[in-house]
Structures are given as C-alpha cells and as structure tokens.
Amino acid sequence: MQLWRPPQSPIAIRRVHAVVNPASGGVGPGAAEELATLLSDLELEYSVSELTPGDCEAAVAAAVAGDPDLVVALGGDGTARLVAETCGPHGPLVAPLSGGTMNKLGRALYGPVSWREALLAALTRGAPRWAPGGEVGGRGFYCGAVLGSPALMAPAREAIRARDIRRAWRRAVIASRRAFLSRLSYDLDGATGQGVAVSFLSPTCTPPPGERPALTAAVLDPPESEAGATAGVRLAVSQLTGDWREDPEIVVPCLAGRVWARAPIPVMLDGEFFRMGREVEIRFRPRAFRALAPAPAAP
C-alpha cells in the first residue's frame, strides 16, 4: 500500500526534536510513540524525549542545543512556556501542541484541534510566525502572568493534577488566607498605584485594549472581605480559564512596568509557579520566539 504524503510546507523542515510531558493532563499514554510514528511516516529525521519531574529544564536545553529545525512541545502551557523561553528569538522554530488542560497557546496558534491535526498543519502548511510574549523578572511568558498572592493558587492546581486532594485543599486554604496580607505597588507605563494582584495577558491569546501591540495589564484591588478574598482566588483561576478583564479595577495596555512589595513576590507564569524578589521588572516582547503555524484565518 502506498503511503499518503501531505503537501510540502513552504519552509524546509528536516530535523525535529519533540519533547513530551506525560504528566500533562491531555497527553495520555503512548503519545510519545504515536508522535514518533507520525514523524517517521513523514520521513523526517527526529528525536523524541519524555520529560520527567525535576529534569525538564535540562532535557529541553539538550533538545535545543542539538540545533534542530523545529522543537515540538507536547504538553500544557507550562511545557510550551519552557520550550519557547529556551528557544527564544534566535533558536529553532517551535510548535507548541495542545496536550494540557487549558492549552491557551496551542489553541491560539492552531485552533481547537487535536495535537495530531495541529502538528500536520504546522508541518504541511506552516510558516515561521513571530509570537509575542512578556517577561517578568527575566522569565518569559506567552499566555498570561499573575503577580501577587492569588498566584499561590498555582501549587494547589499542581496538587490537583497529581490527584493529591488533601495537599490541593491545604494549598488553596493557604492562598485564600494570604490573599490580603501583602499589597503590591506598581508602575505600568507611568500608571501608578497599589493592588492585591497585577496580571498580564499576551496579545497572542488576548488582544490588548488599544491599537498598538502590547501586554494587557490589569490590577485587582477588592475590599478586604470574604467577597474580596473570593475575587482574588477567582482572578487566579480565570487567568487560566478565561478573560478576567471584567473583574479588575484597572485595565491598561503595557509595554514596560515595575512591581514591588515588602516581601518576595509570588508569580504565576502560564500556570507555573515562581517566587521572585521584592521588585520585578515587566516588559513586552514583540518577538519572543518563532512559531511554526499556518497563517491566521482572515477576520
């Protein structure tokens, strides 16, 4: 039987390194083998690496150091974030496939399709596209960021993903209790003030409230009450699940900013938790990395 061959992509892709995160919610068993079979059927030179907890950064760095034409990321937005940050604007092309829970970056680039359809579309009809993003304290993000105590909900989410309900509940309680213990001061393109949390969305996932490409910055400053604590937790959850811009007090486009507090600042970048210093710089990256994706559909 003759093997079906898809039409060639406008760009020559010969060497591919795929990194697969089996811990991501939508990857499933056998995904690495299935991906390898697909790349083999397309007669590409390929390698496939499965990520393990504690070794993700080293594995991704090794994949990029091999200088492939394309790095495929099969996992959630956190896996895509790590691969995109490691590749940067000067590294290989990136194909962030939807294999997690929210898959905001993969859906923005390829639409609501399976990772198999997305990969075929990228390899057969894709072209290099600059993907914007942001930077918080030197760390990149490409979907969204939350600075402040609501970011403490990220460890609770990880515990849920690990099916550790007791730890998830404990983390959620801690996040709720700390929701108003620390306030942030901010300077966002000259707009200054204070709030419980400052969040940012990349224009890849959400168009900014203006004509120029920029991050969408929002400040949450609810009252110190039970309703306010609920609003703080809602911000952390809705940053992962939808558009939170109806909740905050202030929404502005932002190219650069600064956030500071009296204590180290908890930060959530594309769903991943980081604890940074007492002052962090934020900036918009118009050319954060190069994605391999079909041209966006005309409006």
What average pLDDT score do residues 23-38 get?
87
Domain range for 92 is: 15-125
Residue 59 lies in a domain: yes
Specify whether 96 is located in the same domain as 29: yes
In percent, the amount of the chain with pLDDT more than 70 equals: 76
Q: Are residues 118 and 202 in the same domain?
A: no
Instruction: Give every strand in the sheet of 272-275, ordered side by side.
Output: 250-254, 215-220, 197-201, 144-148, 266-269, 272-275
Alpha helices in the chain (DSSP H): 31-41, 56-65, 77-87, 104-110, 115-125, 153-161, 165-177, 226-241
**144 in a structural domain:** yes
| Pairwise CA distance, residues 226 & 67, whole Å | 52
> According to the model, what pLDDT value does residue 245 have?
45
Segment 104-135, tens digit of pLDDT = 899 999 999 999 999 999 999 999 999 999 99
- 109 and 146 share a domain? no
More reliable by pLDDT, 239 or 157: 157
Question: The domain spanning residue 186 has which CATH number?
Answer: 2.60.200
In-domain check, residue 229: yes
Structural domains of the chain, count: 2
Taking 90 as the threshold, does the pLDDT of residue 80 lie above it?
yes
pLDDT, tens digit (0-9, with 9 covering 90-100), for 202-220? 998 887 777 789 999 998 8
pLDDT tens for 180-195 read 457 899 999 999 999 8
Q: What is the pLDDT of residue 241?
A: 44
pLDDT of residue 99: 87
Tell me what the pLDDT averaged over the chain comes to: 82
Residue 227: pLDDT band with limits 50, 70, 90: very low
